[in-house]
Amino acid sequence: MNPIIGIDLGTTYSCAAVLEAGRPRVIPNLDGYNTTPSVVTIMKSGDHLVGHMALRQAVTNPENTIYAVKRLMGKKMSSQELQFVAERYPFRLTQAENGDVVIEAQQFRMSPQEISAFILKYIKKSAEAFLEAEVRDAIVTVPAHFDDHQRQATKDAAKIAGLNVLRVINEPTAASLAYGLEKQSNSRCAVYDMGGGTLDVTILEINSGVFHVLATNGDTYLGGEDFDHRLVDWMLDEFSRENGVSLKGDKLAVQRIKEASEKAKKHLSFTEETEINLPFIFSDSSGSKHLRRLLTREKLEELTKDLVKKSIPYLNKAISDSGLKPEDLDDIILVGGQTRMPLVRRSIREFLNKEPNDSMNPDEVVAAGAAIQSAILSGSISKLLILLDVTPLSLGIETEHNTFERIIPRNTTIPVREKKPFTTVEHEQKRVRIHVLQGESDKASDNTSLARFDLIGLAPEPAGVPQIDVTFGIDADGIVTVTAEDNKTGKEQSVEVRPSSGLSPEEIHRIIESMVNKEHPADDKIKADKHESET
């Protein structure tokens, strides 16, 4: 039997794990590291670098080195969230005909799914080398507050990489599986997951092997990248103030500062101060200029304290939605690299009056949980484990006056099936259009559109007389089915909502064929000397 691996496809770093002898084991990548930078460099030839080799290209080749692509997955170029982060990227983003994001690097145009597929393909090859077996199937994790478009985009990326996704599960839920695998007693815990790009908070109850998610909340645009950018902006402003020169238009200089910011932020999790030293950051007729700055932990906290403060209401709301109080929690589990920041830990401790649990590696615990989920599905784990997750966003339909009518509220345990009656708004109406939406706004237009279909053949009656039952169902895999039925005529129409990530089946097939049949861009790692000669 081929192994099933668990993959945490992260914004900043990705990780894979497999279950061995009843316990998850992290799979090292081809370079020997437990985690892989989620970075891809596109070369002039169309070949690509992934991971640490790509990360080393970021300073010298910023326009063609793509990072934090997870924030672009399943998003429209016009979306407010994407516009907020797009100007930060040194590589070019454009809009496809259907409004999706397109990444331009060298002379190539690629979707975010293709870039993510390069990372997943590298992880797949690393796992095959480590396990000495072909890897076809995987459990892939996503932020709990990814909508269906973003989840489908992730599955499409895996398909392009040659992986069959058996299930997509939420990252904090996966972390709870790893946390609770060896727990003997029942417990209620909160998972606070702040990674490179997203924040998720999940409240769950673990009871005799049953992992029951009670509530989840979060922000898909709050994470370590935002902390890095605060440091970048500060250093750019400091350099401009001291030298009268702006470096904001110099992509190479900005990338050097970003790399230094990331390192400084990490150092300040363990030390009180660190020096940032970037010689020859700028040159003009007056000579070369250098950026040298002593950065203290206190200054970092001053620059980013509002970001940490912004995360606490999500934690509070998740606890409130679960029906618990902070004092009811037995444990608080920290997940994601940004939770190493002392200010984050201190803020959580002060809010909950409880010391966070730091017994697990925050970079690896999600992949470990995904590996446990793979064992649950395959039946290869002896301990009985049952996972009951929730839908993170409300599902419903559009009614008159641009109103969103919820049918399945957020934080409803899945699988679930709910029915709600509706009627017509016009006399002798023979057709109704069902517009399926996902989101939390009371205005239909502010939510995500998932599907549209028509129920035709209604009996002609006065407005308000017909009764049309709309039924929503969500299975354990998160697949949504919507059915509309006219009680009088028995006419019924249904749709299985499989939201498009923007790539059609034909486009996915074309990309896969390109990767299989051409050197662009499906080769394995290229030797470093060849890469350097091309750049």
Phi, psi of 411, rounded to the nearest 5 degrees: 65, 25
Burial string for 387-425 (b: 16+ CB within 10 Å, else e) reads: bbbbbbbbbbbbeeeeebbbbbebbbebeeebeeebebe
Instruction: Determine the Cα–Cα distance for residues 481 and 451; give it in Å rounded to an integer.
Output: 10
What value, to the nearest 5°, has the Cα angle with vertex 491 and ends 486 and 494?
A: 90
Instruction: Determine the Cα–Cα distance for residues 434 and 482; give it in Å rounded to an integer.
Output: 9
Instruction: Determine the Cα–Cα distance for residues 320 and 45; give it in Å rounded to an integer.
Output: 54
- 3-state SS of 395-439? EEEEEHHHEEEEEECCCEECCEEEEEEECCCCCCCCEEEEEEEEC
Residue 171 has pLDDT above 60, yes or no: yes
Tell me the fold of 393-490: Substrate Binding Domain Of DNAk; Chain A, domain 1 (2.60.34)
Structure-block tokens of residue 405: 């009518």
**Whether 171 is catalytic:** yes
**Whether 70 is catalytic:** yes
Cα→Cα distances 535→67, 93, 107, Å: 18, 21, 14
**Whether 405 is catalytic:** no
Residue for token digits 């709301």? 317
What element of type H or E holds 440? none
- Mean residue pLDDT across the chain: 90
The answer to whether 337 and 362 have CB atoms below 8 angstroms apart is yes
pLDDT at 184: 62
Range from 186-190, 271-275, 472-476 that averages highest in pLDDT: 271-275
Close Cβ partners of 237 (under 8 Å, ≥ 6 residues apart): none
What element of type H or E holds 32? none
Residue 506 has pLDDT above 60, yes or no: yes
pTM reported for the whole predicted model: 0.90
DSSP state of 357: B
Q: Is 237 left (phi over 0), alpha (psi -120 to 50) or beta?
A: alpha
Q: What is the pLDDT of residues 439-462, one digit of tens each?
A: 999 999 999 888 899 989 888 889
What element of type H or E holds 221? none
Q: What is the mean pLDDT of residues 241-258?
A: 91
User: Which residue in the list 148, 156, 171, 331 is annotated as catalytic?
Assistant: 171
Q: What is the pLDDT of residues 395-426, one digit of tens each?
A: 999 998 999 999 999 999 999 999 999 998 88
3-state secondary structure at position 28: coil
Instruction: Determine the Cα–Cα distance for residues 51 and 262; give it in Å rounded to an integer.
Output: 16
Cα 106 to chain centroid distance, Å, stands at 26
Q: Do domains 224-301 and 393-490 have the same CATH topology?
A: no
Instruction: Determine the Cα–Cα distance for residues 329 and 353; give it in Å rounded to an integer.
Output: 10
DSSP 86-120: HTT-SSEEEE-TTSBEEEEETTEEE-HHHHHHHHH
pLDDT at 517: 65
Which CATH code fits 224-301?
3.90.640.10
The answer to whether 331 and 357 have CB atoms below 8 angstroms apart is yes
pLDDT grade, residue 518 (50/70/90)? low
DSSP 135-190: --EEEEEE-TT--HHHHHHHHHHHHHTT-EEEEEEEHHHHHHHHHHTT--S-EEEE
Burial class (CB in 10 A: 0-12, 13-18, 19+), 127: buried
pLDDT at 299: 97
**Whether 454 is catalytic:** no
Residue 521 has pLDDT above 60, yes or no: no
Give the residue extent of every domain in the chain.
224-301, 393-490
User: Which residue in the list 137, 147, 148, 193 is annotated as catalytic?
Assistant: 193
